[in-house]
């Protein structure tokens, strides 16, 4: 029987399939169901600081504070504390029920909050922490290197503070992506998750309003993940997890061949149910055996660019072939 176990963030996972942070991982019962269906680890739904602060603002707008600023401060503090406590209870509940690693996830909007929240989550007993970090480069006054510096600072500060392993989930809107990812991997984080996926803006031609596109990913979206896994594997000094567009076991295997130590899944489970994971584990095992591979480590990163004999020629050949074949 082929061995599907993989090493990710210092954990030995029984297989490479991790349940991504989403609404499917926001309760103990749902996480347990994922474990029963084969998930090797679970990333808990993120705790969003911005959401907590919006709740505080809505209390403010409803004049719940009766304009007394001391009361306002107290309730703001309490709301934040309450949200954090509920999250800590969730982690604690998962830790008691599950035997797979429980990876907490946070998104903070202010620099100091990353370290405050991270410390509390470690104390709650999470096995690891994923930093769900996104600064959209949409501010015309903000330069690329200023944005990158914030990511690097947060990654360094949080990984220095915590004793549990830290991963960072990023998007791919960076101008010097390869250089930035290598620098990020040197901050002490144990994994990079490629990539986060955002609401896709769309336009309704009837109402002439901007709407949200599909909340779930499409299989084609994995192409960008494959590109960056191939480029970064063997160059970053941390593990890599694929995330976005994994809708079948074949895509997962491709991601692993290109350098993913683990594969995170959300949309496919929303569409088909958590049972897809067990089916993928079975199919991946069969494929490995049919090809004579005994362990996942034999194929992890096998096709990455760093090991290609002529990586530059390889890139150029791809480019030329594309245009010479185009009709
Ligand atoms: C309904 C929904 C909720 C999500 N919530 C979070 C979240 O709280 N934190 C996070 O890091 N990613 C969140 N994601 C993103 C997923 O973790 C994942 O990165 C993304 O959906 C791409 O993977 P997929 O193609 O397997 O869906 C969410 C995705 C969906 C569909």
Domain hosting residue 18, numbered range? 6-325
For 218, which DSSP code?
-
Q: Residue 247: in which H helix or E strand, if any?
A: none
CA–centroid distance, residue 197 to ligand 1 (Å): 7
Residue burial 122-137, b: 16+ Cβ < 10 Å; e: rest: bebebbbbbbbbebeb
For 194, which DSSP code?
E
In a domain, 1, yes or no: no
In a domain, 42, yes or no: yes
**What number of CA atoms fall less than 13 Å from residue 29's CA on the CB side?**
0
pLDDT of residue 59: 60
Q: Is 20 in the pocket of ligand 1 (CB under 6 A)?
A: yes
Q: Over its length of 327 residues, how does the chain's per-residue pLDDT go in tens digits?
A: 999 999 999 999 999 999 999 999 999 999 999 999 999 999 999 999 877 766 666 666 666 555 556 666 666 777 777 888 999 999 999 999 999 999 999 998 777 888 888 998 999 899 999 999 988 888 999 999 999 999 999 999 999 999 999 999 999 999 999 999 999 999 999 999 999 998 889 999 999 999 988 999 999 999 999 999 999 999 999 999 999 999 999 999 999 999 999 999 999 999 999 999 999 999 999 999 999 999 999 999 999 988 876 665 556 656 555 555 554
In a domain, 41, yes or no: yes
Residue burial 42-76, b: 16+ Cβ < 10 Å; e: rest: bbbbbbbbeebbeebeebeeeeebeeeeeebeebb
* CA–CA dist 318, 321 (Å, integer): 5
Q: Residue 321: in which H helix or E strand, if any?
A: helix 311-325
In a domain, 190, yes or no: yes
CA-based nearest residue to 282, from 98, 11, 24, 38: 38
In a domain, 38, yes or no: yes
Domain total of the chain: 1
In a domain, 256, yes or no: yes
Q: Is 45 in the pocket of ligand 1 (CB under 6 A)?
A: yes
CATH number for the domain harbouring residue 132 = 3.20.20.70
CA–centroid distance, residue 219 to ligand 1 (Å): 15
Residue 65 · residue 59 · CB < 8 Å: yes
CA–centroid distance, residue 95 to ligand 1 (Å): 21
Q: Is 135 in the pocket of ligand 1 (CB under 6 A)?
A: no
In a domain, 271, yes or no: yes
């Amino acid at each position: 029987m082929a061995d599907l176990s993989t090493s990710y963030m210092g954990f030995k996972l029984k297989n490479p399939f991790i349940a991504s942070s989403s609404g499917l991982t926001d309760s103990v019962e749902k996480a347990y169901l994922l474990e029963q269906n084969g998930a090797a680890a679970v990333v808990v739904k993120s705790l969003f600081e911005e959401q907590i602060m919006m709740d505080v603002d809505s209390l403010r707008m409803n004049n719940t504070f009766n304009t007394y600023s001391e009361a306002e401060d107290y309730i703001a503090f309490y709301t934040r504390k309450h949200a954090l406590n509920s999250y800590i209870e969730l982690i604690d509940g998962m830790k008691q029920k599950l035997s797979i690693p429980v990876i907490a996830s946070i998104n903070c909007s202010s620099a100091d909050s990353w370290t405050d929240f991270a410390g509390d989550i470690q104390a709650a007993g999470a096995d690891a922490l994923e930093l769900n970090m996104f600064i959209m480069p949409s501010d015309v006054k903000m330069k690329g290197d200023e944005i990158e510096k914030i990511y690097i600072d947060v990654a360094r500060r949080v990984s220095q503070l915590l004793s549990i392993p830290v991963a960072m989930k990023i998007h791919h809107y960076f101008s010097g992506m390869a250089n930035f990812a290598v620098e990020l991997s040197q901050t002490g984080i144990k994994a990079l998750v490629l990539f986060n996926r955002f609401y896709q803006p769309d336009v309704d031609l009837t109402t002439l309003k901007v709407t949200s596109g599909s909340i779930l990913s499409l299989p084609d979206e994995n192409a960008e993940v494959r590109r960056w896994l191939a480029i970064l594997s063997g160059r970053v000094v941390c593990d890599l997890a694929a995330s976005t567009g994994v809708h079948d076991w074949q895509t997962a295997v491709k991601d692993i061949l290109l350098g993913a130590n683990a594969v995170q899944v959300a949309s496919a489970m929303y569409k088909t149910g958590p049972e897809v994971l067990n089916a993928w584990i079975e199919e991946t095992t069969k494929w490995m055996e049919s090809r004579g591979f005994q362990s996942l480590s034999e194929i992890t990163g096998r096709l990455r660019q760093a090991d290609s004999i002529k990586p530059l020629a390889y890139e150029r050949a791809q480019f030329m072939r594309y245009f010479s074949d185009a009709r």
